[in-house]
Chain A
Amino acid sequence: MAVLIYTENAGGKFKKSTFEAISYARAIADETGTTLTAISIGDVDPGELALPGKYGTDKVLHVCNGQLKNFINQAYASVIAEAAKKENADIVVLSNSFSGRGLAPRIAVKLDAGLADGVISLPEISGSQFRVKKTAFSGKAFAIFELTSAKKVISLSPNAYQVVEKHAEGKIEEFIPELKPTDFKALVKEVIQSADKVSLPDAEIVVSGGRGLKGPENWGMLEELASLLGAATACSKPVSDAGWRSHSEHVGQTGITVSPNLYIAVGISGAIQHLAGVSSSKVIVVINKDPEAPFFKVADYGIVGDAFEVVPKLIAAVKEYKASA
């Protein structure tokens, strides 16, 4: 028995969501009295492979193969499933990132495992019962279900579990998988990363703007506030529909779902389709000149006022706070 965690990297570095998933997987391994093995595929910076050990990983399988340099869903799923079999892992943990969403269902089918996707807390384990919880109905409810299969695949929502340092050996082993040519029918031609920006789905703080900002030329102040806070920027759907911002920033029912520690909504009315993508944020701040805006009903802090007056004040206050910190 063992728990296997897939450690995803971006540009050679493990992601924050990976450390969350390692900590989560460690807690499950402790609860079930087994060991934790990590698997890393593709190019990671030398030195990175030592990090899983700091968060409780007993063993790190390192797959280094030119053909697996870029993410190939089908091939990566085969490699992870093969590692799970070799390690005799009955639980495989991934983070519910864009890549994780591609991998988890394939791995579950390969291992004949039940799949708990996008879980938000540790499983409740008692005897052979294994219960997990996830958000459903666009954040309007939680669904609780039980995995009844012997093998289980779990993908963890970003920002749902706290990273915990815990020393373990983290012994690095090369793992040489068997590659099937039929797993390489999809090939990555190009990877385009928007430089220097905090990635929206992983961000701990999100500064988001709506139609109340009037036009793309007014985003400078949101960018400034975001960069001071180390935040990602986001927007409402009409804003990206109008081409003021890119579609990759649009959050909500038809866009990205975020669950940051802090979501700051500026000039967004708070339509239900928008809330669907942000309601699991831990703290919500709403800045809107209309005191009747529905967003205030789900906010923790609110400022009724003109964004063009309020945001510059916030920028000044953050600068002051940073200078004194």
Chain B
Amino acid sequence: MKILVCISNVPDTTTKITFTDNNTQFNTNGVQFILNPYDEIALARAIELTEGGKGTVTVINVGEVSTEPTIRKALAIGADDAVRINAKPHDAWFVAKQIASYIQQNSYDLVLTGRESIDYNGSKVAGMLGELLDIPSVSIIKKLDIEGDLAVVEREIEGGKEILSIQLPFVAGAAEGVAEPKIPNMRGIMSARTKPLAVVEPVEVSTNLTFSGFEIPAARGQVKLIPTDDSASLIGLLHTEARVI
């Protein structure tokens, strides 16, 4: 089985987010970039599913050369090889078109993404890929098992879950529950340096979306502290002042 895992390179949640040029550019200065946490889950499951010679795992990233440390991390965790599509990931549509075009030339049995990238939290790439390739897609899965050319997945729904049976190939966005992220070991780190990383030039894509800028949310006012003895008064305040109950 050939599995393709789409990985994105995102700012670590703990880094401070700032903008430049009159709030139109994200300031990458001093920002720590990491492998998107959900993609780590997808990668971990892909490795489990192919363990013991049952298949191969390729990771793919649309990004400039600066994303290579993240790609090498994925190789260190256990991917067999990697592809970098050499372009700035303008938006989900651009990314999906690049990856779809790559998949059309190199078929895969299963394509995994993360449920969302933690920068724009879009959950868009998986569905777009599914549509571009005309195969099923499930945006957010909590469990994934494969038996022959049929998969059983658990999908999250509001207040519950759904169990689906899906014919391979398909695309799914991994979330917490699908697997435990794997930490690279020393052997992985050593071998990552020599595993193949192909660089592919992008295809032409017409855009349908442009970024205009960013805003920083207004800071919340000072917290109103309520003495413990008077806890009960909170309920009144939530009713009369905050008007939320």
Interface residues, chain A, CB within 8 Å of chain B? 10, 15, 70-71, 73-74, 77, 97-99, 101-106, 108-110, 112-118, 131, 133-149, 182, 185-194, 197-202, 204-205, 229, 247-248, 250, 253-255, 257, 261-262, 272-273, 276, 279, 282-286, 296-306, 309-310, 313-314, 316-318, 320-321
Interface contact tally, CB-CB below 8 A? 278
Contact (A273, B13) CB under 8 Å given A101-B140, A146-B210, A283-B238: yes
Q: State whether A74 touches B211 (Cβ < 8 A).
A: no
Q: State whether B228 touches A309 (Cβ < 8 A).
A: yes
23 pairs, CB–CB < 8 Å, chain A vs chain B: A73-B138, A101-B139, A108-B128, A118-B121, A140-B216, A141-B216, A142-B216, A147-B209, A182-B134, A185-B135, A186-B164, A188-B164, A229-B245, A248-B161, A250-B176, A262-B245, A301-B226, A301-B238, A303-B227, A303-B228, A309-B228, A317-B231, A317-B234
- Is the CB of B19 closer than 8 A to any CB of chain A? yes
Q: State whether A77 touches B131 (Cβ < 8 A).
A: yes
Q: State whether B138 touches A191 (Cβ < 8 A).
A: no
Q: Within residues 194 to 245 of chain B, which ones have a CB less than 8 A from any CB in chain A?
A: 207-217, 220-221, 223-228, 231-239, 242, 244-245
Pick out which of these stretches binds chain A: B43-51, B80-88, B151-159. Answer: B151-159
Q: State whether B215 touches A282 (Cβ < 8 A).
A: no
- Which B residue sits closest to A199, measured CB to CB? B159
Pick out which of these stretches binds chain A: B102-110, B165-173, B185-193. Answer: B165-173
User: Which of A15, A135, A188, A306 is close to B163, meaning CB atoms less than 8 Å apart?
Assistant: A188
- Is the CB of B1 closer than 8 A to any CB of chain A? no
| Residues of chain A lying within 8 A (CB to CB) of residue B65 | none
| Residues of chain A lying within 8 A (CB to CB) of residue B234 | 285, 301, 303, 314, 317
What is the distance, in angstroms, from A84's C-beta to the closest C-beta of chain B? Answer: 14
Interface size class of B (residues with CB under 8 A): 35 or more
Q: State whether A106 touches B128 (Cβ < 8 A).
A: yes
- Which B residue sits closest to A110, measured CB to CB? B131
Q: State whether B167 touches A185 (Cβ < 8 A).
A: yes
Interface residues, chain B, CB within 8 Å of chain A? 11, 13-14, 17, 19, 37-38, 92-93, 96, 118-128, 130-132, 134-140, 142, 152, 155-167, 170, 175-177, 207-217, 220-221, 223-228, 231-239, 242, 244-245
Contact (A286, B223) CB under 8 Å given A257-B121, A262-B244, A305-B228: yes
Contact (A138, B131) CB under 8 Å given A146-B209, A191-B160, A202-B158: no
Q: State whether A301 touches B212 (Cβ < 8 A).
A: no
| Residues of chain B lying within 8 A (CB to CB) of residue A273 | 13-14
9 interchain residue pairs of minimum CB distance: A105-B127, A199-B159, A114-B208, A305-B228, A149-B208, A317-B232, A193-B160, A109-B131, A199-B158
Contact (A301, B242) CB under 8 Å given A102-B139, A313-B231: yes
Q: State whether A115 touches B92 (Cβ < 8 A).
A: yes
Q: A117-B122, A190-B162, A204-B244 are in contact. List 16 more A-B contacts (CB 8 A).
A: A136-B121, A136-B214, A137-B118, A141-B19, A148-B210, A185-B170, A194-B159, A201-B158, A247-B176, A250-B176, A262-B245, A279-B217, A301-B238, A302-B223, A321-B236, A321-B239
Q: State whether A115 touches B239 (Cβ < 8 A).
A: no
Contact (A255, B176) CB under 8 Å given A186-B167, A303-B228: yes
Contact (A304, B225) CB under 8 Å given A101-B123, A143-B120: yes
- Which B residue sits closest to A271, measured CB to CB? B14
Bound Cα distance from A140 to B212, whole angstroms: 17
Q: State whether A197 touches B159 (Cβ < 8 A).
A: yes
| Residues of chain A lying within 8 A (CB to CB) of residue B13 | 138, 253, 272-273, 276
Q: State whether A247 touches B208 (Cβ < 8 A).
A: no
Q: State whether B137 touches A262 (Cβ < 8 A).
A: no
Q: State whether A303 touches B231 (Cβ < 8 A).
A: yes
- Which B residue sits closest to A311, measured CB to CB? B231
Q: State whether A138 touches B214 (Cβ < 8 A).
A: no
- Which B residue sits closest to A201, measured CB to CB? B158
